[in-house]
Amino acid sequence: MNILDTIDIAKLDLVKYPDPRLREVCRTVEVFDDRLRALTEKMFAIMYERNGVGLAGPQVGVPLRLFTANPTLEPADERVYINPTILKNDGRQDGDEGCLSFPGIFCKIKRFNVTTIQAQDLTGESFTETGEGLLARIFQHESDHLAARLLVDRMSVAAKLANRRAIKNLEAVFAD
């Protein structure tokens, strides 16, 4: 059964921490159809509405291995990565990182500076792409979401302390 047949794509919205759907390990996408295309279009709309550069399936409550990305916000740079696997990482970068599921929280996160990823496009065709800097960070951040790893899991102790009020506020909103 295609999980997308059970979801009202038009009603999808951003899922925020600590929603348990963010902790679900995602399933492989097996059906490449118009519903998948509609899902990614909705994901781009949500991503742009919230000024993001990447958005993973679980961030809209869909536990599938896919994410959308656009590091430049130029229409020609929109990309969809389905069933991605990181093949290689190299170098180091330490930079500010945020997450749409953690609104208003930014902290220094160590990442690799160059990342090569293999994925499928909307037709199911495999491709390999290497990203550097921001694109490598997006690959790693969104791949973390697909494995149920969140920004809070990557934060240093100091970053957790600096952001504890914002994290507690998110937890309090979810509890209501």
Would you please indicate which residues are annotated as catalytic (active-site) residues?
142
Count other Cβ atoms within 10 Å, centred on residue 167. Answer: 17
Please state, in angstroms and as integers, the Cα–Cα distance from residue 67 to each residue in 14, 131, 143, 144, 168, following that order: 13, 15, 8, 11, 27
Query: Could you tell me if residue 27 is left (phi over 0), alpha (psi between -120 and 50 degrees) or otherwise beta?
Result: beta
Q: Any idea what DSSP says for residue 165?
A: H
Query: Cβ(134)–Cβ(71) under 8 Å?
Result: yes
Backbone angles phi, psi at 157, to 5 degrees: -60, -45
* The length of the chain, given as a count of residues: 176
